[in-house]
């Protein structure tokens, strides 16, 4: 087992300085205090858990990589918040675990395996806390329920069943509950794992003839969280075991939290008795994000990026544009932002609309709305109570011209059509006419409350 002297750490810091640059170094690396290497974990002290989270997320694999060139067998990094830190009072040093994907894929070594046997949970992602979870209409119920469970008070609903589409924050909320319980109720044995890991452990226990241990382990937890439970659909013996574990814990009044990509009743090949058990508690869904939530998430994430790239300029309207155009899932949205900042800092240019469109062309294309020009024309003419033919036709009276301009504006905003293409679809008008119309609505939007309201309503209707 290797160790590292303070001199070696000093040298390593020099390397990091050249890799991450002066600003990043001063903000993020310099405050780290190297403590020790225990087993295969390098432990650093950090002044705040925020800094630990941030470094773990953004520089974790880099540090790990450089470390492993100096010391053998380091597989993980832990950040321990300094005991005398002025943050909230902590009973003991808080451990910020590395996100799973950052852990180095080293050849299997014994200590890791042994530890997994003792603690059947999966590592928690340091970024997934309540602090970083943005609440909006689509997720407020799920968030409130998660908060309640995280208080660790008497069990009021069991299980809590969270469901929703990919990337809507199910895993984030579950990790947040676990983090919160670890600080609020360190006496509780909280276990988080995916349904896949549950199956894997179950199969392993069968193979190693350790079913008694397995049962004992899972029946001794106080709070059990199983993520993506749809995974065990169709896997009969795993379902069976899961059912028994579930019942044993519910009987002991232990809290269970489950997530899935759909409602319990809609998971195919899941036994009926399990379905009905899952429905016994509180079932809440995370709705698809709306524009406001996406914008809120972007605004919160942008703060982190600004800290990482101080001085990088962000043009107004870019976040709004992204929130409009990328509506698939939050993971894609986050990825887009990260890429945008990295790209802009690399080429040393401010983040403008042009740069955004260049840098994210593929993402934008992939998440392109299926909203068509025809749809917009239809909705707008309905809204203003005019005939579609009048909207597209040549008449220039105000009662047709204004809705026409509104429709042109929405086409520019919500589709990827060029001005000439839009012009063609509005009765073969010239692109300068379209441009004029778009400009006019942009002005009116600021001056005229009614127009602003119309636009908002139409956009919602079209995006619904
Ligand atoms: P799911 O498990 O539902 O597929 P995740 O919890 O893994 O989704 O979320 C995907 C990504 O989006 C994560 O990085 C998560 O932090 C982020 N995310 C999702 N919802 C929110 C939210 N409301 N606020 C902040 N980040 C979010
Ligand atoms: Mg998930």
Domain 6-81 has CATH 3.30.300.180: yes
The residues, ordered by sequence, that sit 6+ positions from 5 with a Cβ below 8 Å of its Cβ are none
- 132 alpha carbon to ligand 1 midpoint, in Å? 10
- 430 alpha carbon to ligand 2 midpoint, in Å? 48
- Which atom from ligand 1 is nearest to the alpha carbon of 173? 6
CA atoms within 13 A on the CB side of 133: 29
Judge contact between 149 and 177, C-beta under 8 A.
Answer: yes
Q: Please choose, from the candidates 80, 173, 76, the residue with its C-alpha nearest in 3D space to the C-alpha of residue 115.
A: 76
- Which atom from ligand 1 is nearest to the alpha carbon of 168? 3
How far apart CA 107 and CA 452 sit, in angstroms, is: 60
C-alpha separations of 263 from 75, 129, 163, 192, 229 in Å:
38, 24, 6, 20, 11
Q: CATH assignment of 291-367? A: 1.10.8.60
Which numbered ligand comes closest to the C-alpha of 169? 1
CA atoms within 13 A on the CB side of 408: 33
Q: Which CATH superfamily is domain 373-463 in?
A: DnaA protein, C-terminal DNA-binding domain (1.10.1750.10)
Whole-angstrom distance between the N-terminal and C-terminal Cα of the chain? 58
- 159 alpha carbon to ligand 1 midpoint, in Å? 21
pLDDT tens by residue, the chain, 464 residues: 457 888 888 888 888 887 777 767 877 888 888 888 888 888 988 877 767 877 887 788 888 888 887 788 888 888 888 776 544 433 333 333 333 333 333 322 223 333 333 346 788 898 999 999 999 999 999 999 999 999 998 888 999 999 999 999 999 999 999 999 999 898 999 999 999 999 999 988 998 999 999 999 899 999 999 999 999 999 999 999 999 999 999 999 999 999 999 999 989 899 999 999 999 999 999 998 989 999 999 999 999 899 888 889 999 999 999 998 888 789 999 999 999 999 999 999 999 999 999 999 888 887 766 788 999 999 999 999 999 999 999 999 999 999 999 999 999 988 888 999 999 999 999 999 999 999 999 999 999 999 999 998 898 888 76
- Report the DSSP beta bridge partners of residue 285: 163
Ligand 1 in reach of 297 Cβ (< 6 A):
yes
Q: CATH assignment of 100-285? A: 3.40.50.300
Judge contact between 145 and 257, C-beta under 8 A.
Answer: no
- Is 433 assigned a ligand-binding role in the annotation? no
How far apart CA 165 and CA 257 sit, in angstroms, is: 17
- CA geometry: angle 12, 14, 20, nearest 5 deg: 100
Which numbered ligand comes closest to the C-alpha of 166? 1
How far apart CA 297 and CA 319 sit, in angstroms, is: 10
- 61 alpha carbon to ligand 1 midpoint, in Å? 21
How far apart CA 396 and CA 415 sit, in angstroms, is: 25
pTM: 0.61
Q: Which of 175, 192, 331 has most ligand 1 atoms within 8 Å of its beta carbon, as the pocket-test mutant?
A: 331
Domain ranges of the chain: 6-81, 100-285, 291-367, 373-463
CA atoms within 13 A on the CB side of 156: 10
How far apart CA 174 and CA 169 sit, in angstroms, is: 9
- Is 254 assigned a ligand-binding role in the annotation? no
The residues, ordered by sequence, that sit 6+ positions from 285 with a Cβ below 8 Å of its Cβ are 141, 142, 162, 163, 164, 263
- 105 alpha carbon to ligand 2 midpoint, in Å? 21
How many Cβ atoms sit within 10 Å of the Cβ of residue 386? 17
- Is 170 assigned a ligand-binding role in the annotation? yes
Q: Which of 99, 167, 195 has most ligand 1 atoms within 8 Å of its beta carbon, as the pocket-test mutant?
A: 167
Ligand 1 in reach of 100 Cβ (< 6 A):
no
Ligand 1 in reach of 294 Cβ (< 6 A):
no
Judge contact between 203 and 210, C-beta under 8 A.
Answer: no
Ligand 1 in reach of 318 Cβ (< 6 A):
no
- Which atom from ligand 1 is nearest to the alpha carbon of 164? 3
Ligand 1 in reach of 334 Cβ (< 6 A):
yes
The per-residue b/e assignment along 336-345, b for 16 or more CB within 10 angstroms, e otherwise, is bbeebbebbb
The per-residue b/e assignment along 64-73, b for 16 or more CB within 10 angstroms, e otherwise, is bebbbeebee
How far apart CA 157 and CA 149 sit, in angstroms, is: 9
DSSP 213-227: HHHHHHHT-SEEEEE
Ligand 1 in reach of 134 Cβ (< 6 A):
yes
- Is 317 assigned a ligand-binding role in the annotation? no
């Amino acid at each position: 087992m290797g160790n590292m002297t303070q001199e070696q750490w000093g040298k390593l810091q020099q390397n990091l300085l050249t890799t991450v640059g002066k600003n990043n170094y001063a903000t993020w690396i310099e405050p780290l205090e190297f403590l020790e290497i225990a087993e295969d974990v390098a432990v650093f002290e950090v002044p705040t858990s925020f800094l630990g989270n941030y470094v773990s997320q953004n520089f974790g694999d880099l540090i790990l990589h450089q470390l492993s060139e100096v010391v053998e067998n380091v597989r993980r990094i832990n950040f321990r918040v300094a005991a005398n830190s002025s943050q909230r009072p902590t009973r003991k040093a808080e451990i910020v675990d590395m996100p799973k994907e950052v852990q180095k894929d080293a050849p299997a070594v014994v200590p890791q395996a042994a530890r997994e046997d003792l603690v059947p949970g999966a590592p928690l992602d340091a970024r997934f806390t309540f602090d970083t979870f943005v609440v909006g209409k689509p997720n407020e119920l799920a968030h409130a329920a998660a908060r309640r469970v995280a208080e660790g008070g008497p069990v009021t609903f069991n299980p809590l069943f969270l469901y929703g589409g990919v990337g809507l924050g199910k895993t984030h909320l579950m990790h947040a509950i676990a983090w919160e319980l670890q600080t609020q109720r360190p006496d509780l044995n909280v276990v988080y794992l995916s349904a896949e890991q549950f199956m894997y452990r179950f199969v392993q226990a069968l193979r190693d003839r350790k079913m008694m241990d397995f049962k004992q382990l899972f029946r001794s937890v106080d709070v059990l969280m199983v993520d993506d439970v749809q995974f065990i659909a169709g896997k009969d013996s795993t379902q069976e075991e899961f059912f028994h574990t579930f019942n044993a814990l519910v009987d002991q009044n232990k809290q269970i939290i489950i997530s899935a990509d759909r409602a319990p009743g809609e998971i195919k090949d899941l036994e009926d008795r399990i379905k009905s058990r899952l429905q016994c508690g509180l079932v809440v869904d995370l709705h698809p994000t709306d524009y406001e939530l996406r914008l809120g998430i972007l605004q919160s994430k942008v703060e982190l990026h600004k800290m990482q790239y101080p001085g990088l300029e962000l043009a107004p309207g870019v976040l709004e544009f992204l929130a409009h155009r990328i509506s698939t899932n939050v993971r894609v949205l986050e990825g887009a932002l990260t890429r945008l900042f990295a790209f802009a800092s690399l080429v040393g240019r401010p983040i403008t609309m042009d740069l955004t469109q260049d840098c994210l062309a593929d993402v934008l294309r992939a998440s392109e709305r299926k909203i068509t020009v025809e749809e917009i024309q239809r909705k707008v003419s309905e809204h203003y109570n005019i005939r579609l033919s009048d909207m597209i036709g040549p008449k220039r009276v105000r009662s047709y011209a204004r809705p026409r301009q509104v429709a042109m504006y929405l086409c520019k905003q919500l589709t990827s059509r060029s001005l000439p293409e839009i012009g063609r679809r509005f009765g073969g008008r010239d692109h300068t006419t379209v441009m004029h119309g778009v400009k006019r609505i942009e002005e009116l939007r600021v001056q005229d409350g009614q127009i602003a309201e119309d636009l908002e309503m139409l956009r919602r209707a079209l995006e619904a």
